[in-house]
Amino acid sequence: MATLTLPQLQQALGLQELNYAFSTGLVTGSVANRETKKIFSPADGTFLGEVAMANEADYEAVITKAQEAFILWRAVPAPKRGDIIRQYGEVLRQNKEALGQLVSLEMGKIYQEGLGEVQEMIDICEFAVGLSRQLYGYTMHSERPSHRMYDQYHPLGIIGVISAFNFPVAVWAWNAALAAVCGDVTVWKPSEKTPLTAVACQNLLQSVLRDNDLPEGIFSLIIGQANIGKLMAADKRVPLVSATGSTPMGKDVGATVAARLGRSLLELGGNNAVIITPNANIEMAIRSTAFGALGTAGQRCTTTRRLIVHSDVYEMVRERLLKIYGNIPVGHPTSASTLVGPLIDQLAVNTFRTALDNVVAEGGKILAGGQILTEGDYAKGNYVYPALVEADNSYATVQHETFAPILYLIKYSGPVENAIAIQNDVKQGLSSSIFTLNMQEAEAFLAHWGSDCGIANVNIGTSGAEIGGAFGGEKETGGGRESGSDAWKVYMRRQTNTINYSNNLPLAQGIKFDL
């Protein structure tokens, strides 16, 4: 890894003057008369920069610019829109290392995961380029003679994107790339915990727009507190709001958008489980579970939080995990030897500790880890040692999603249906996985009475979805679908068209209405 200094990162990504107002992506100037926020790395407390928090006037300026840009952008042929996204993908390739390192420094995920997040942006750009020539509708046969009937899709307008800190750029790209080829414009409110990566992405994207003589309002950025998200959710000028975050936040956004009969795309909490049956490849299951539980320090929506293991192989799995949890490399996210970096902030550290205290009070047993790390190299960061906990699925703490590296080890006995029942017995329904070489067990897991999650995997873990498939979940996960498959349709309005090319006017259903 070619580590860049902070000034080099700022130069590469256009962040040299972070004391200026990048709050809108359209309006620059002094931060005077605006609330500002200083950003520090969760890894070591390094000061990374300062951004201005947008106010209501900034929001209005952004929406006005976006409305103006939409009028032009929707008239650009879809393949031409796709070419703009292709160019952005190339710019991301050129800046992958720098942007991946910034993701690592600002969010705290290890550098390899930072690179992976940027690669995910590149992948969705490639997907969107192909999609720009496939925004298809269907042709149907009319019951009336000399009539043609078909459906087609039109852009919605402004797409509001509210993203979370844990994937500070990739999830925005899922939305922005697809929305763009569909003819929409986007207004992005990133997490106020990770605004610098958003500014960097916006700077790179605006350079593409300038090179093509396109208005900057096609892709807008507005950095602000929760009030900006509330303005967006209530704004009738924003027909679709895509929000990623906690279930309580999603409920608020969903209710507000629904009250104005708008659309919402919600990607909320996950309480994801891996099932290991007696017929599993145990070593493969353990390795997959370790990545799912430890990756991004347990701060993925698809993090493996529950491991449901058959009693016949429970002790074997338990002992293997104890060896792994006895030697986890926790450290600075840019170090090549680190597998688990810091949590995002001190509040997350406190939540981690509180969850462990609560689960022990309920009857759980901490088998390994659980310490808050404050000495030596850990002193200036938000570090914890991942915890392995024996627990029961019925515990209130296990039922709750704790955004931290805690893996609950749960025993089951009897047929696989018992494990599936445990897997489904939570309010969330994002990602799920089973490890088995038995076809009947695998098919039962994937059947309509099996996993109730939006993602169900066999012999791979809960974490690490590809962009080619639709991503999202059920129940309190919100029901949204982003990224691949036909998720693009949510960014468009569907229209049914019937053309009469005869000289007669027959009515449907054979109705006679002669005057």
Instruction: Please give the chain's pLDDT, 515 residues, in tens.
Output: 567 888 888 888 888 655 434 444 434 445 567 788 899 999 999 999 888 888 898 899 899 999 999 999 999 999 999 999 999 999 999 999 999 999 999 999 999 999 999 999 999 999 999 999 999 999 999 999 999 999 999 999 999 999 999 999 999 999 999 999 999 999 999 999 999 999 999 999 999 999 999 999 999 999 999 999 999 999 999 999 999 999 999 999 999 999 999 999 999 999 999 999 999 999 999 999 999 999 999 999 999 999 999 999 999 999 999 999 999 999 999 999 999 999 999 999 999 999 999 999 999 999 999 999 999 999 999 999 999 999 999 999 999 999 999 999 999 999 999 999 999 999 999 999 999 999 999 999 999 999 999 999 999 999 988 999 999 999 999 999 999 999 999 999 999 999 999 999 999 999 999 88
Q: Quick check: is 301 catalytic?
A: yes
User: 97, 106, 120, 267: which one is catalytic?
Assistant: 267
Rounded to 10 degrees, the C-alpha dihedral 319/304/291/450 comes to 90
Classify residue 489 as exposed, middle or buried by CB count within 10 Å of its CB (0-12, 13-18, 19+). middle
**Interval 395-409: pLDDT, tens:** 999 999 999 999 999
Q: How far is CA 407 from CA 356, 368, 395, in A?
A: 11, 10, 14
For the entire predicted model, the pTM comes to 0.95
pLDDT at 1: 54
pLDDT at 23: 40
Rounded Cα–Cα distance for residues 380 and 346 (Å): 11
Q: Which residue, chain included where needed, has tokens 């009250």?
A: 259
User: 301, 441, 476, 482: which one is catalytic?
Assistant: 301
Let me know: does 158 contact 187? Beta carbons within 8 Å: yes
Axis-axis angle for helices 282-294, 314-325 (nearest 10): 50
Token digits of residue 302:
């698809």
Largest CA distance in the chain: 91
Report the amino acid identity of residue 36.
Answer: T
**Interval 3-46: pLDDT, tens:** 788 888 888 888 865 543 444 443 444 556 778 889 999 999 99
- As a whole number of Å, the end-to-end CA separation of the chain is 80
Token digits of residue 21:
């107002």
pLDDT at 21: 40
| b/e 122-131 (16+ beta carbons within 10 angstroms → b) | bbbbebbbeb
Let me know: does 138 contact 321? Beta carbons within 8 Å: no
Rounded Cα–Cα distance for residues 101 and 121 (Å): 15
pLDDT at 116: 97
Q: What is the DSSP letter of 340?
A: B
Axis-axis angle for helices 195-211, 78-94 (nearest 10): 120
Q: Quick check: is 17 catalytic?
A: no
Rounded Cα–Cα distance for residues 111 and 103 (Å): 8
Let me know: does 458 contact 506? Beta carbons within 8 Å: no
